[in-house]
């Protein structure tokens, strides 16, 4: 359920983001104590996720500024909203979902690259996603994100990760760090999946949604495009990947952990 048209604003309480038994995120410069517990520390954060209820949970879990030091200064549900809100608020850290209407987290990173490169007031990005696919992790890190944690992270560890990213550290959920090390340390491995690289960013979005079982009308609504355009993208994907139907496409995407 996507909320791409909703305005940003205040949110109410919910159950938060805790739930998985994930060990603490790993990265350079960890002190072992939640950075947000340091008296007087503050970090301004924007939440980017296309599920309003999840944003509400994160806000309730980490956005109690007097306790955590985290001030949520904006929210966004799609790429265009994200770029607008991030540009207007200039937060220290953006919590960024990977799969977003309008081009995904990679597109947000591309359009915000001047803000990341600002030497005086850099905006840093921490991916926060349900996906633990190597392709997603490597994609956003190549795009400039400082880290990647999954949504099973606890509220305490998320606060710690936000402050460490503000300090310039790289932060990853333990299992995901290996993807990045393998991708950047190996000199003989191809940087991207050659088959997947044939697809445009929009075609990849349509591919994932088709593989997740979405109907054409649902995809059109989520991506703000017409059903006819969805059909055109699906045809292009099938042609480029030399597949015959959406069932083969689903198997192809599942085998590459793109779903």
pLDDT at residue 199 in the model: 84
pLDDT at residue 174 in the model: 75
Cβ-contact 78, 90 below 8 angstroms: no
pLDDT at residue 35 in the model: 43
pLDDT at residue 92 in the model: 96
pLDDT at residue 148 in the model: 93
E strand intervals along 2-156: 26-27, 43-48, 70-76, 93-96, 124-129, 147-150
State which residues of the chain have pLDDT below 50.
1-16, 18-23, 28-37, 187-191
Distances (CA, A) of 111 to 22, 83, 90, 114, 121: 31, 7, 14, 8, 17
Q: Does this model's pTM top 0.95?
A: no
pLDDT at residue 192 in the model: 53
Residue 56: left (phi > 0), alpha (psi -120 to 50), or beta?
Answer: alpha
pLDDT at residue 7 in the model: 40
Burial of 242 (0-12, 13-18, 19+ CB in 10 A): exposed
Bridge partners of 95, per DSSP, are: 47, 126
pLDDT at residue 15 in the model: 39
Residue 32 CA, chain-centre distance (Å), reads: 25
pLDDT at residue 198 in the model: 81
Residue in the structure block whose two tokens are 């069932």: 247
């Amino acid at each position: 359920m996507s909320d791409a048209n909703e305005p940003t604003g205040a949110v109410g309480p919910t159950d938060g983001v805790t739930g998985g038994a994930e060990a603490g995120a790993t990265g350079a410069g960890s002190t072992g104590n939640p950075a947000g517990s340091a008296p007087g520390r503050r970090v301004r954060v924007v939440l980017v996720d296309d599920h309003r209820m999840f944003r509400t949970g994160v806000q309730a879990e980490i956005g109690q500024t007097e306790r955590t030091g985290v001030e949520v200064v904006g929210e966004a549900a799609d790429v265009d909203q994200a770029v607008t809100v991030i540009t207007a608020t200039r937060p220290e850290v953006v919590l960024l979902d990977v799969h977003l209407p309008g081009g995904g987290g990679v597109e947000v990173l591309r359009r915000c690259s001047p803000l990341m490169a600002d030497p005086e007031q850099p905006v840093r990005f921490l991916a926060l996603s349900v996906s633990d696919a190597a392709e997603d992790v490597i994609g956003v890190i190549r795009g400039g994100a400082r880290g990647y944690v999954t949504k099973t992270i606890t509220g305490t560890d998320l606060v710690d990760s936000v402050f460490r990213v503000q300090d310039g550290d790289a932060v990853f959920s333990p299992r995901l760090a290996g993807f990045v090390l393998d991708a950047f340390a190996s000199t003989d491995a191809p940087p991207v999946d050659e088959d997947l690289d044939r697809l445009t960013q929009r075609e990849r979005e349509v591919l994932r949604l088709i593989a997740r079982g979405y109907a054409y009308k649902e995809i059109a609504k989520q991506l703000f495009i017409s059903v006819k355009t969805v059909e055109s993208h699906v045809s292009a994907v099938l042609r480029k990947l030399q597949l015959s139907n959406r069932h083969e496409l689903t198997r192809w995407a599942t085998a590459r952990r793109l779903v």
